[in-house]
Amino acid sequence: MKPLKIKSQAIDFTWLPPAEEWDFRSVTQRECRVACHWEYSRQDRQAMAKLPNGQNYCPENYRGAARELFPQRWTTLTKEQRVKVLGSFTEAPALQVHKLGDFIKRVTIHGISSEIPAAYLEQAYVIIPSFTRRGVVAVTKQFGKWASLESKRYRPSRRAQAADLPFDALKWLAVLRIDGARRKAGVTIGKARETVKAFGLRRAFNHYGDVFPNYTSDGGWLKAGTDALRCQARSRANRAYLLAELA
């Protein structure tokens, strides 16, 4: 008796969203942080929908080329455009000190209140050191103690470490975007995982991090979507969250 031949079913890729929205394998290590912040900002539909007159939403900390090119898909930007966007971000200093007057001008839209004495605006700082009376050594020592105690109030963010690039945050975002199309098409998670895996094999190329959403279980897939929503909420609350050590 001849063995039965099982016909392999063709995989339907048509329900997937455009690959430019979720296949982030072209993102390099150098551009990972900015690309991650860029795509999560694009995902913020609530902010994108608020602007009147058809204006495009743009994160307020974007400058130069970043402001000109947002909200285009990061994966559709040319190498030259990506370089220009990266050039609009600079490495943030470990400590920034501003005069009170300058600081108020930056953070308020109502101007400086006339009730604040002019001497405070010129001589006070957001962090107020007593260099004249106590000296630089005493001030530095006291600031170190304060920073050490104050930091204990905050839970350390693993993604705020410079050595830990947020490739997995892009991976989570890919699942979140694919999942919207999956539900609309009535596709099961298992079938979605199979489709994504086949897509990756069909369109294989070298990539720079573990960013392709190839999950081996439904639980891992669901967790990735939840992690993406959590990451989006943190990024919305703190626009510098995904831009660790960049400004």
Is there a single domain that holds both residue 228 and residue 139?
A: no
% of the chain beyond a pLDDT of 90: 45
Q: Are 75 and 27 in a shared domain?
A: yes
More confident residue, 91 or 197: 197
33 and 56 fall within a common domain: yes
Same domain, 166 and 114: no
6 within some domain? no
Confidence of residue 92 (pLDDT cuts 50, 70, 90): low
Same-domain pairing of 73 and 171: yes
- Residue 57 CA to residue 13 CA, distance in Å, equals 31
The residue assigned the tokens 């630089």 is 136
- Residue where a domain stops, chosen among 111, 143, 175: 143
Q: Give the C-alpha distances (Å, rounded to integers) separating 40 from 74, 130, 169, 195.
A: 11, 41, 9, 24
Alpha carbon 97 to chain centroid, angstroms: 26
Domain around 35: 19-92+158-237
CA atoms within 13 A on the CB side of 188: 6
Note whether 23 and 212 are within 8 A (CB).
Answer: yes
Task: Give the closest residue to 32 by CA, choosing from 157, 237, 169, 224.
Answer: 169
Residue 203: its pLDDT value, please?
79
Quickly state the pLDDT bin for 210 (edges 50, 70, 90): confident
- Which residue has tokens 């559709």? 76
Report pLDDT for 228: 95
Identify whether residues 107 and 168 lie together within a single domain. no
pLDDT at 76 over 90: yes
Q: Considering the domain boundaries, does residue 1 fall inside one?
A: no
Confidence of residue 104 (pLDDT cuts 50, 70, 90): confident
Are 60 and 176 in a shared domain?
A: yes
For residue 14, is it within any domain? no
Q: What is the pLDDT of residue 38?
A: 95
**What φ, ψ does residue 5 adopt, rounded to 5°?**
-95, 120
Confidence tier at 94 by pLDDT (50, 70, 90): low
| Residue 23 and residue 77 in one domain | yes
Q: How far apart are CA 104 and CA 124, in angstroms?
A: 12
pLDDT band at 185 (very low <50, low <70, confident <90, very high): very high
Same domain, 79 and 192: yes
Stretch 76-104: mean pLDDT: 83
114 lies in the same domain as 56: no
Vertex 7: Cα angle to 4 and 10 (nearest 5): 170
User: Looking at the domain assignment, is residue 137 inside a domain?
Assistant: yes
Whether residue 67 has pLDDT greater than 50: yes
Mean pLDDT of the chain: 82
Query: What per-residue confidence (pLDDT) applies to 162?
Result: 38
Is residue 244 in some structural domain?
A: no
Q: Can you give the pLDDT at residue 70? A: 94
Total domain count, the chain: 2
pLDDT for the residue 160: 37
pTM: predicted TM-score of the whole model, two decimal places: 0.69
Q: Which residues pair with 246 in a beta bridge?
A: 91
Q: What is the dihedral of CA 133, 136, 142, 147, to 10 degrees?
A: 130
**113 and 78 in one domain?**
no
Residues 113 and 136 in one domain: yes
pLDDT digit string (tens) for 107-156? Answer: 565 666 667 777 777 777 777 777 777 788 877 888 888 778 777 776 65
The reply to whether 139 falls in a domain is yes
Rounded CA gap, 44 and 32, in Å? Answer: 18
Residue 241 has a pLDDT of 82
